[in-house]
Amino acid sequence: MGSFNLEISDDILDEARIPPVEREAVLKRELAVQLYARELLPKAAARRLSGMDRVAFVLPRPSNSGLPADLDPRS
């Protein structure tokens, strides 16, 4: 299995206001949620990317608008 490294400059990380010890976990979780919401990653893969256990990774199914169903005004 391969891996992919993404470089983000320190000035951008500092602007994100994420404590350095939490950056990797927070960024992985945010990426996982966004990829799942846009239906680019299945829920199981998004959960693995986030590093969260199955119980903690509870997300609504995405809607056709790209928003979670509970936030979609068309629902």
Q: Is residue 55 part of a domain?
A: yes
Q: Is the pLDDT of residue 25 over 90?
A: yes
The model's confidence at residue 58, banded by pLDDT at 50, 70 and 90, is confident
Q: What is the pLDDT of residue 42?
A: 92
Write the pLDDT tens digit of every residue in 5-20.
999 999 999 999 899 9
Q: Is residue 3 part of a domain?
A: no
Q: Which residues contact 34 (CB under 8 A, 6 or more apart)?
A: none
Q: What is the pLDDT of residue 56?
A: 80
CA separation for the pair 6, 24 (Å, rounded): 11
Q: Is the pLDDT of residue 70 over 80?
A: no
Provide the residue range defining the domain that includes 53: 10-71
Q: Is residue 53 part of a domain?
A: yes
Q: Is residue 20 part of a domain?
A: yes
Number of domains in the chain: 1
The whole-number average pLDDT for the span 24-52 is 92
